[in-house]
Structure 1
Amino acid sequence: MSAEADAPGATDATAAPVLAAEGLEVAFTGRTGRSTARAVDGVDLEIGAGEIVALVGESGCGKSTLARALLGLVRPSAGRVAFRGRGLGYRPRELKEVRRRVQLVLQDPTGALNPRHTVYEAVAEGRRIHSGSTADEEEHVAEALARSGLRPPERFFLRYPHELSGGQRQRVAIAGALVLQPEVIVADEPVASLDASVRGEILQLLLRLRDDHGLAALVVTHDLGLAWNIADRAAVMYLGRVVETGTVEEVLAAPRHPYTKALLSVLPEAGAGEPQILAGEPPDPTRIPGGCRFHPRCPVLASGAAQAAGVAERCRSEDPGMLGGSGAAAQVACHWAHAREAEPTG
């Protein structure tokens, strides 16, 4: 077996993903019923066992809605969510079983923790709901706290959220997920509210959980630097759809989509030269542009490079399509990128 296959986070390409979105769409109808916002507009995405996938993009691009759909918190209008190859059912008993094995960690641990509950109660609550038993409860709570980096765990049992630092509160929130021994964690901006010194500690914790316990994770973030430091694969989302996906090295070291290039250009460590400032705001999801949905803001189209490549009209009129969910190869939804790669070399 190759060293690459033995590396932490490596997955068998033939194995069924632990969690997957298949042609997923989530739409919200306005109060008047006259407009429909396509928050998630046809997404294929897979998370393999022991793999960390970063879902990146601007605020409002549909990342959090997609994450909640994967957890069964939002019901899709089309497509399906699959856990271990089996379609997610929406009856209470079916959802309860999946939510025990796929846990959510929220951005703001302060809001996620009940200020009247001790740390012990906060961590034990999920297990009580899902198991209906308190047998060996203290042992499981202590183990979850220890795995989340709060040691000795007994020292934290009777403390309240206001007595903890921001990093400790986030660790308690993670322990509340770990106590159920899940297979996947969906972490929505898990370090956005933390100081820089604490962010690294939480990211190292997620990496240890992957390496030591085989835990898979979907990390939702707007921060490409975070994705570079933690993820095995990255999926870049724009206006409800994944527009580029591949390994972190493929997507962040050699981006192909103009949107990914623009996001990376503002990172000092990326060495991308002058930052690319995208024109305007992302379009209204109730009025998604025709053609490539990024074309009204695309610097490649605006500069004339798409015209020179002979694809400008296609950018304005032809949808580049939906990317497949497999992580086997890098993919990009961009006419210009495909035209460049089709050019003869030498």
Structure 2
Amino acid sequence: MTETRTAAEEVGTTRSALLEARDLHVEFASRGRRARAVDGVNLAIGEGEIVALVGESGCGKTTLARTLLGLERPTSGEVRYDGAGLGYTTKALRAYRRQVQLVLQDPTGSLNPRHTVYEAVAEGPRIHGLADERDIVATALSRAGLRPPERFFQRYPHELSGGQRQRVVIAGALALNPKVLVADEPVASLDASVRGEILALLLKLRAELGLSALVVTHDLGLAWNIADRVAVMYLGRIVESGPVEQVLTAPRHPYTQALLSVLPESPERIVLTGEPPDPTRIPGGCRFHARCQVLASGKAAEAGVDGRCRSQLLDILPAVPDAQAACHYAETVS
């Protein structure tokens, strides 16, 4: 795994938090019950830091990302940016979205086919009433790797390759000169040959502009190649987090171990039984215990924690830079 890593520099533990989730809960009504999509999350993204948020589909990572963007309001807890709590007035959100921008996974779906590249990138600056629109669009396209930018101004999305369309989406985010990008599966729809280019672009933007980023993905290989830290989410909570190299070379939580086992270089494939539980019916004890291979194998019983796994709630992990895991068994072997 270490041979394939092209990731960024190690992050110091003193880096100040720029974007934070503090004890964040987000619930939705579902068939007469409450679905706990985000069920107590602490997460901090430092200045110039890339954090990967990983987990299966339905684990709550997209809801968490939308809440960090101000697109969902938390049921409790708060989002903080640059030390201040996020306000939800139209004026406050307008100012906030100049600082924190979304990059969607599907450039074809997020670009209007009737709009030229220029119009797509100029949309944000127009909404915010920024002067020098043409210069802003040209600079954003250049930073996104579309050069010379004027050559792309009058082109339409269908005239571009998938990688070029994704660069246009990134340019649209860059046009507002944000401090943080929230990238939801930014390379999922791209060919393997193009993925590396987009990941390299994100790293270049961090190096040149000091951008921070939250990269939402189900792909731990992507996390390895781009992130400074990784947070693994399961059923609404972060169950393991820490420096990417530490977590992905020595995972402590059984769920992280299972996710890593699907990578080609993994010596053993771990097949989880069943599907993630319904977020309206989160089980007691460890929320992963019904699918946990450590509990099923008898190792948890040997360590004397099987009863705790089934009945004792785990603490919500704090937002700290050090490696940590919410797992009764991991506590006995650490």
TM band (smaller chain) = over 0.9
Aligned to 2:277: 283
After superposition, residues 316-331 of structure 1 pair within 5 angstroms as: 316-327=310-321, 329-331=322-324
Q: Which runs of 5+ in 2 are unaligned?
A: 1-6
After superposition, residues 196-275 of structure 1 pair within 5 angstroms as: 196-269=192-265, 271=266, 273-275=267-269
Q: 1:72 is matched with which residue: 59, 70, 73? A: 70
Distance 1:198 1:171 in 2: 11
Distance 1:97 1:9 in 2: 31
- Deviating runs (4+, > 3 A) in structure 1? 7-16
Is contact 1:233–1:246 with CA below 8 Å preserved after alignment? yes
Counting aligned pairs with the same residue, the percent is 70
> What is the CA deviation profile of residues 156-191 of structure 1, one whole-angstrom value per residue up to 9, with x for unaligned ones?
000001111110000000000001100000000000
Distance 1:290 1:39 in 2: 16
Q: CA deviation at 1:15?
A: 4.7
Is contact 1:103–1:177 with CA below 8 Å preserved after alignment? yes
Q: 2:325 is matched with which residue: 306, 325, 332? A: 332
Q: Confirm or deny that 1:143 pairs with 2:136.
A: no
Distance 2:137 2:248 in 1: 38
**Letter paired with 1:334:** C
For residue 122 of structure 1, give the secondary structure of its aligned residue in structure 2: helix
CA RMSD of aligned residues (A): 1.2
After superposition, residues 188-199 of structure 1 pair within 5 angstroms as: 188-199=184-195
Distance 1:232 1:205 in 2: 16
After superposition, residues 32-51 of structure 1 pair within 5 angstroms as: 34-51=32-49
Aligned to 1:119: 117
Distance 2:19 2:305 in 1: 36
For residue 246 of structure 1, give the secondary structure of its aligned residue in structure 2: strand
Q: CA deviation at 1:123?
A: 0.2
Distance 2:166 2:264 in 1: 27
Q: Confirm or deny that 1:158 pairs with 2:154.
A: yes
For residue 17 of structure 2, give the secondary structure of its aligned residue in structure 1: coil
Q: Confirm or deny that 1:292 pairs with 2:290.
A: no
**Letter paired with 1:53:** V
**Letter paired with 1:283:** P
Q: CA deviation at 1:8?
A: 5.7
Is contact 1:244–1:331 with CA below 8 Å preserved after alignment? yes
Q: CA deviation at 1:12?
A: 5.2
Distance 2:289 2:126 in 1: 50
Is contact 1:9–1:51 with CA below 8 Å preserved after alignment? no
Q: CA 1:8 to 1:214, structure 2 compared with 1: closer, same or farther past 3 Å?
A: farther
Aligned to 1:108: 106
Aligned to 2:18: 18
Distance 2:258 2:136 in 1: 45
Distance 1:277 1:11 in 2: 33
Is contact 2:11–2:228 with CA below 8 Å preserved after alignment? no
Distance 1:10 1:252 in 2: 14
Distance 2:215 2:106 in 1: 14
Q: CA deviation at 1:85?
A: 1.0
Is contact 2:30–2:280 with CA below 8 Å preserved after alignment? no
Q: Confirm or deny that 1:52 pairs with 2:45.
A: no
Aligned to 2:29: 29
Tell me the matched-pair count.
328
For residue 46 of structure 1, give the secondary structure of its aligned residue in structure 2: strand
For residue 245 of structure 1, give the secondary structure of its aligned residue in structure 2: strand
> What is the CA deviation profile of residues 59-80 of structure 1, one whole-angstrom value per residue up to 9, with x for unaligned ones?
0000000000000000000100
Q: CA deviation at 1:14?
A: 4.0
Q: CA deviation at 1:213?
A: 1.1
Aligned to 2:166: 170
For residue 48 of structure 2, give the secondary structure of its aligned residue in structure 1: coil
Aligned to 1:344: none
Distance 1:221 1:126 in 2: 25
For residue 18 of structure 1, give the secondary structure of its aligned residue in structure 2: strand
Is contact 1:51–1:217 with CA below 8 Å preserved after alignment? yes
